[in-house]
Amino acid sequence: MMAVFSLLTLLVVCLATVLVAVHGLRLSRTTSDFYVASRTVRPWWNASAIGGEYLSAASFLGVAGLIVVSGQSGLWFPIGYTAGYLMLLLFVAAPLRRSQAYTLPDFAQIRFASLPLRKLTTYLVVLICLLYIVPQMHGAALTLSIATGLPGWVGPLIVAAVVCLTVVSGGMRSVTFVQAFQYWLKLAALVIPTVLLLVRIIPGNDPGMRVQQLSERMGDGGSLGLYETISIIIALLFGTLGLPHVLVRFYTNPTGQAARSTTVIVLGLLSIFYIWPVALGVLGRLYTPEHHAPGNADATVLLLPQWIFDGWAADVLTAVVVGGAFAAFLSTTSGLVVSLAGAVSQEFFAGTVRGFRISTVIATVAPLLVAALTSSLALAGAIGNVFAFTASTICPLLLLGIWWRQLTSIGAMAGMLTGAVSCALALLVSGLLAESESVLAALLRQPAAWSVPLAFVVTVLVSLTTAKRVPRNVDRILERLHVPERSTLSD
Amino acid sequence: MSQDPDVHFAAQRPARVRVQAPADAAVDLQVPSAEHSAENFYVRQLIRSQLRLAVSVASGIIVLLVGITVLLSYWPQISQITLARIPLPWWILGLGVYPLILIAGVLYNISAVRNEKRYRSIAR
């Protein structure tokens, strides 16, 4: 019965996504519509779309799973995901919008007119998007096989097919509507089960015993050490502002100030959202059966209804959660696919609509294959690693490119390469080593606390030694980034 | 009849090639006038004030978050303080931090607009 309900909601979510996309198709006519929604998207729509795009498998399933596994330490992930948007607001939102760059490689080109830097940025964007899509596919595999018992490859295949269809048919304009709709869907899919679970539990038969356990099971400080926690905070804070699929969104704001207002609304939407996975994580910590395999903590949100309710109520609530989870996979993956396809089509197909469509197919099939060949890590942890990588590579380019006039293209490239190599090597080595409590193991497991500063230092030092290569038009470029548009004068 | 020589001429002429300068090429040719350098000064002031604002808000939040981490790490007994039977750190990390992040964002937004208004009133 549960399988039937779950497949039904899955079908509804996929159909609704495709329908909204087709509705967008009638509105999207020009190449510009296709890529950037012609910049006519209102802040509320845009903020919902950003929220919808950003709240991925890691937020929907991973946060609660992490709280079940590592207790109090898990609370830092949603805080970091939210505070990362604050950093984006402070340092990137308005200037990036005013730079008129559509993608990160565009920004690199506008700022430095350097082809090698543009290419390096493109390759990093492609890598980051791939690393970010694969966990979404793993989440889809886990969700579908838990809810319906279907084999693991069906979930990712559904996600890839729906995303390919929506992106190819409508481009950015329809994706905006789809994602805005999916934010609210995801929120509802967590709020409804959480409220019903709490209503069921609070006047339940065994409040005394459970509440006793409450402080017992929440008493310890969590499983992460001080260094690792700080490193995660740094990775999430500085990783968010380099995420390619998030940055593309800012171009759809009409002005720099609109970009800022949108980001403030996003901060509110994220704060409202993260209450619920945290609450579900706490419930999961209380109600996870003793014999439940710890490896499947990411499924907590999906399994909680069955642990607390029985009969049709459990089936319906599980189906609601499955619908929300697929909304999360679909929206994040479509955002990433738009960026990935955008980067690939600009690089290899001269930015035509046809090239964009071919690139979209490539951008969904490639991660599908990677996901099939790799096994799932803890979702929130896997995404946390991508944030560490972004913070060590894209973040120095963006922050220094926007705020420091002495930055040179050679300096930016040196910093990005240093950050990419050191962060990736550390993560690979720690993946190969056995679990260990030593300081070195922690340094490798969570490299952001040293790899991000290292990337910044290398960028600055190399820029200073190549000071002659500071672009001659740097003043004019920085003026474009920071001076408010004329239209904001009137209000 | 009179069109013929024109057609003949047009055929001989090489095809027109549209010459386009990169969007920023003109910038290098500008002679720095006194007016321009004055404006440049105001732009640099604007950038500096926006950066100062952003860095102070960011360091406030980073100090807050790292401070909480250090506090929880060196004072684990704080978990014995409970509110509705839930230990205090869970309230702080699960709910309390978010309004602070939001308030920081709203205040930053207001101040950033003020900086830009000031720039507009000085420059031109």
- Total domains in chain B come to 1
Q: What percent of chain A has pLDDT over 70?
A: 86
- Tell me how far apart the alpha carbons of residues B88 and B75 are, in angstroms, rounded to a whole number: 12
Mutant choice from B35, B61, B80, B101 vs A, greatest count of A C-beta within 10 A: B101
- Tell me how far apart the alpha carbons of residues A334 and A245 are, in angstroms, rounded to a whole number: 9
Residue B22 within a domain: no
Per the prediction, chain A carries an average pLDDT of: 83
Q: Where are the alpha helices (DSSP H) in A433-447?
A: 439-445
Q: H/E/C letters for each residue in A365-393?
A: HHHHHHHHHCCCCCHHHHHHHHHHHHHHH
* pLDDT at position B59 over 70: yes
Query: Is A487 strand, coil or helix?
Result: helix
Residue B39 within a domain: no
Identify the pLDDT of residue B21. Answer: 41
Task: Please judge whether A90 and B70 are an interchain contact, meaning their C-beta atoms are less than 8 angstroms apart.
Answer: no
Q: Which residues of B touch A115 (CB under 8 A)?
A: none
Taking CA atoms, A322 is separated from A186, A455, B12, in Å, by: 10, 40, 70
* pLDDT at position A6 over 80: yes
Rounded to 5 degrees, φ, ψ at B83 are: -130, 120
Q: Which bin fits A38, alpha (ψ -120 to 50), beta or left (φ > 0)?
A: left
Number of C-alpha atoms within 13 angstroms, CB side, residue A138?
25
Residue B95 within a domain: yes
Task: Please judge whether B98 and A476 are an interchain contact, meaning their C-beta atoms are less than 8 angstroms apart.
Answer: no
Task: Please judge whether B51 and A237 are an interchain contact, meaning their C-beta atoms are less than 8 angstroms apart.
Answer: no
**Domain ranges, residue B79:** 44-124
Q: Which residue carries 């055929």 as its tokens?
A: B11
- Where is pLDDT greater, at A269 or A224? A269
Q: Where are the alpha helices (DSSP H) in A40-153?
A: 43-54, 57, 63-70, 76-91, 93-98, 104-112, 115-148
Task: Please judge whether B101 and A271 are an interchain contact, meaning their C-beta atoms are less than 8 angstroms apart.
Answer: yes
Answer for the pair A259, A96: CB distance below 8 angstroms, yes or no. yes
pLDDT tens digit string along A71-122? 888 889 999 999 999 999 999 999 998 888 878 888 898 898 888 999 999 9
Taking CA atoms, A224 is separated from A47, A70, A270, in Å, by: 33, 7, 24
Q: Of A168-177, A353-362, A450-459, which one has max mean pLDDT? A: A450-459
Q: Where are the alpha helices (DSSP H) in B22-81?
A: 25-29, 34-74
Q: Which residues of B touch A89 (CB under 8 A)?
A: 105, 108-109
Residue B25, token pair as written in the block: 């090429």
- Tell me how far apart the alpha carbons of residues A174 and A28 are, in angstroms, rounded to a whole number: 8
Closest Cα partner for A180 from A54, A301, A360?
A: A54
* pLDDT at position A47 over 80: yes
Q: Which residues of B touch A113 (CB under 8 A)?
A: 22, 24
Rounded to 5 degrees, φ, ψ at A92 are: -120, -40
Residue B37 within a domain: no
- Where is pLDDT greater, at A341 or B35? A341
Answer for the pair A489, B120: CB distance below 8 angstroms, yes or no. yes
* pLDDT at position A237 over 90: yes
- Choice among A26-40, A82-96, A252-266, B100-114 with the minimum mean pLDDT: A26-40
Answer for the pair A470, A408: CB distance below 8 angstroms, yes or no. yes
Residue A308, token pair as written in the block: 């607390």
- Choice among A178-192, A333-347, A450-464, B25-39 with the minimum mean pLDDT: B25-39
- Tell me how far apart the alpha carbons of residues A326 and A188 are, in angstroms, rounded to a whole number: 13
**A297-306 burial code (b ≥16 CB/10 A, e <16):** bbbbbbbbbe
* pLDDT at position A215 over 70: no
Residue B38 within a domain: no
Residue B19 within a domain: no
Identify the pLDDT of residue A459. Answer: 95
Q: Which bin fits B84, alpha (ψ -120 to 50), beta or left (φ > 0)?
A: left
* pLDDT at position A357 over 70: yes
Paired with A309 in beta bridges are: none
Residue A384, token pair as written in the block: 């946390």
Mutant choice from B30, B31, B51, B90 vs A, greatest count of A C-beta within 10 A: B90
Identify the pLDDT of residue A491. Answer: 39
Paired with B86 in beta bridges are: B83
Paired with B82 in beta bridges are: B87
With CA atoms as reference, the chain B residue closest to A212 would be B85
Element (H, E) at B82: strand B82-83
Choose among A79, A85, A482: nearest Cβ to B43: A482
Residue B52 within a domain: yes
Residue A275, token pair as written in the block: 């209450």
Task: Please judge whether A271 and B99 are an interchain contact, meaning their C-beta atoms are less than 8 angstroms apart.
Answer: yes
Task: Please judge whether B47 and A86 are an interchain contact, meaning their C-beta atoms are less than 8 angstroms apart.
Answer: no
- Mean pLDDT over A8-34 rounds to 69
- Where is pLDDT greater, at A209 or A444? A444
pTM, two decimals, is 0.85
Task: Please judge whether B79 and A473 are an interchain contact, meaning their C-beta atoms are less than 8 angstroms apart.
Answer: no
Bridge pairing between strands B82-83 and B86-87: antiparallel
Q: Considering all CA atoms of chain B, what is the largest pairwise distance in Å, rounded to the nearest integer?
A: 103
Q: Which residues of B touch A264 (CB under 8 A)?
A: 102, 105-106, 109
Rounded to 5 degrees, φ, ψ at B82 are: -125, 155
Angle at A136 between CA A158 and CA A331, to 5 degrees: 70
Mutant choice from A50, A482, A485 vs B, greatest count of B C-beta within 10 A: A482
Q: Which domains does chain A carry? A: 2-202+215-376 (1.10.4160.10)
pLDDT band at A128 (very low <50, low <70, confident <90, very high): very high
Mutant choice from A63, A86, A488 vs B, greatest count of B C-beta within 10 A: A86
- Where is pLDDT greater, at B13 or A91? A91
Residue B86 within a domain: yes
Rounded to 5 degrees, φ, ψ at B86 are: -100, 130
For A272, other C-beta atoms within 10 Å of its C-beta total 14
